[in-house]
Structure 1
């Protein structure tokens, strides 16, 4: 049984998508100052924040006793698949018609099948070849597949910490193993090693560990606000650097500190209307903002000569966020919400059939 929606987490989804879009806005120009390059690089860690929020949200809504595995998978499938499948078909149609740069790089049968079965994350040839950013959706679906096992950690504080610690070591080991053992272009294999779901697993497990520790840490609410702003300052400093503190492991630790302190402090600004709305439609923004980026990239060389690289990237970023938010204001109710409604309808219909047969 799901226990409801946790509002402040939508603000963290908003922060995540704000960072991710900035990362891709840098595609418009490489002629940018070091500080902007560093901040955009750190923005890519927004995907880890998405994973962490996902793990936390699921762990707060389910426990090992109440989780009905079949219902869970149906809900997760219809939460992700409709918008993801629409995006796959959209980028093929747009690529063939008006925007060749948006056309998927691999339209083989293997790529089609792996995309629509969410197994594209298992091969360097397919992980990002169809839907832009598809690697993260493939990873998320693997996390869902494992969640019925991991949910048992939500009531075991120290065991959850142990699993997170082990997952960091396994993540690094898998990353190095992939680079050493899988043949191919060095840059492509390095990207695949980073995008692979086991490499990203610590962020998801950290979300579950946060859920395990929240009831215990609420007694320290008085210091939570100070901790939040301290960790926020460290996060900003990490964003402007390019050293060890901007690594994905350091980012995971910083993000977990932010979420823990924000959850216990209960800041009103974390429930602000704009932030929570952006967070609510963030999945649509993630999948649609690539389209806007490709539109701008077609004119990037001309625009760069007129306004310079820094202005182009910042301006392009603001345009992309605004346009993708506007598009997602349509796709979220039309595709995402209706997809979830279909999933819920199928579950209700299934329950009625079972009750009818039992009677």
Structure 2
């Protein structure tokens, strides 16, 4: 676990960027599966695609820790995160208003201030938490993680605390899950508490942080990425066939998240190791990296396109084959819309807003003061081009 790296790691981990596309596509597919009557086998396989959010949370903790720079100030960190997610988020919310009207849905205007500030997860009403753009709930969870990150990375710098933190995080997630299932109603325990509650999902983010710390100190995965990915198949199928189902006939999401979490850690570790060692893999293909760069936009925009298509086919009876063709076309259209959102809003707005905020902010206290001393100058890695999705 402490094997030193033989060479300086690269400045960018392209494989992690590519993996983001597959995670975002899994979320899009599960929403398509819920909206359209797809063939049975595809519906069953796609029904657990929401685990892509778990992958995002782990990857976010990994990337933010991997890219943490000695001397970074908390205010600068917060400004970069704000510039990263807020412009595209607000643009999609603005688009959502006419789309919701077109689809004949109700607009929850009272939730707008909370959605814009990404604080909607702290509102008890499910209608408010899902207002305007339901996938944005995960952004609200990420904002909570960002708020704690300067403190978490200080705690993580002491080596003797890391294994303890790993053990506590893992055991706490399992204990909370068991306690909630036993003592609370399924709609509470299997829904908000163990799915969209930021306090619970923080554990996934912390595990990603701990993995990044181990790799910054020289540990490398000894297994290939494909093997870790293939390992997901068996628990995935086992969940579909044997896991208990809720009142709607679905596998509880928290069970899927817990079962696949170790494999997601293994995939990220293997992909990062391959990039660090300079291996030429499929995940480093330029086309996949481009798609990965647009995965945040894909995650944000696809719900609006689903609403438009649902409104267009309302009242029509479609067979599973026709529904599958529409779903494939909508997935392709979502990728195209994501590209437009990325080049027209997300990327240019992030650059300008980040530049403006950086100039305006003074140099306050460092978020990781002492990090360089505790890690050793030779192990500090800066991956300025790696960007986390949430």
Bin the TM-score by the shorter chain: 0.7 to 0.9
1:136 Cα deviation after fit: 0.4
8 Å CA contact 2:61–2:206 kept in 1: the answer is yes
Q: In structure 2, how many angstroms separate the alpha carbons of the residues matched to 1:347 and 1:219?
A: 36
Residue 136 of structure 2 corresponds to which residue in structure 1? 134
1:261 correspondence with 2:263? no
* Runs of 5+ consecutive residues of structure 1 not aligned to the other structure: 355-359
Alpha-carbon distance, 1:293 to partner: 1.4
Residue number in structure 1 paired with 2:234: 237
Separation in 1, partners of 2:23, 2:143: 18
Is residue 18 of structure 1 aligned with residue 18 of structure 2? Answer: no
Aligned residues: CA RMSD: 3.1
Distance 1:316 1:196, change over 3 A: farther
How far has the Cα of 1:46 moved from its partner? Answer: 0.3
Q: Does residue 114 of structure 1 match 2:114? A: yes
How far is the alpha carbon of 1:45 from its aligned partner? 0.3
How far off its partner does 1:43 sit? 1.2
Q: Which has the higher contact order (CA 8 A, sep 6+)?
A: 2
**Partner Cα separation in structure 2 for residue 30 and residue 157 of structure 1:** 51
More deviation, 241-250/19-28: 241-250
**Distance (Å, rounded) in 1 between the aligned partners of 2:160 and 2:22:** 29
* 2:206 alignment partner in structure 1: 205
**How many residue pairs are counted as aligned between the two chains?**
336
Q: Describe the shift of the 1:334–1:299 C-alpha distance in structure 2 as closer, same or farther (beyond 3 A).
A: closer
* Deviations 1:85-141, CA, capped at 9 Å, x for gaps: 111121112222x3324x54x222xx1221122110112312212322121010011
Q: Unpaired segments of 5 or more residues in structure 2?
A: 1-9, 244-253, 365-390
Distance 1:209 1:189, change over 3 A: closer
Higher helix share: 1
For residues 256 and 5 of structure 1, the distance between their equivalents in structure 2, rounded to whole angstroms, comes to: 19
**How far 1:217 moved relative to its partner?**
5.8
Separation in 2, partners of 1:91, 1:148: 33
Residue pairs, 1:132-281, within 5 angstroms: 132-152=134-154, 155-156=157-158, 159-171=161-173, 187=187, 190-193=190-193, 194-215=195-216, 218=219, 223-225=222-224, 228-241=225-238, 242=240, 243=242, 247-266=256-275, 267-281=280-294
Post-superposition Cα deviations, 1:56-87, rounded to whole Å, max 9, x if no partner, equal: 11111105x42310001011011111111111
Taking a change above 3 Å as real, the CA distance of residues 317 and 136 of structure 1, as seen in their structure-2 partners, is same
The separation in 1 between residues aligned to 2:257 and 2:337, in whole angstroms, is 30
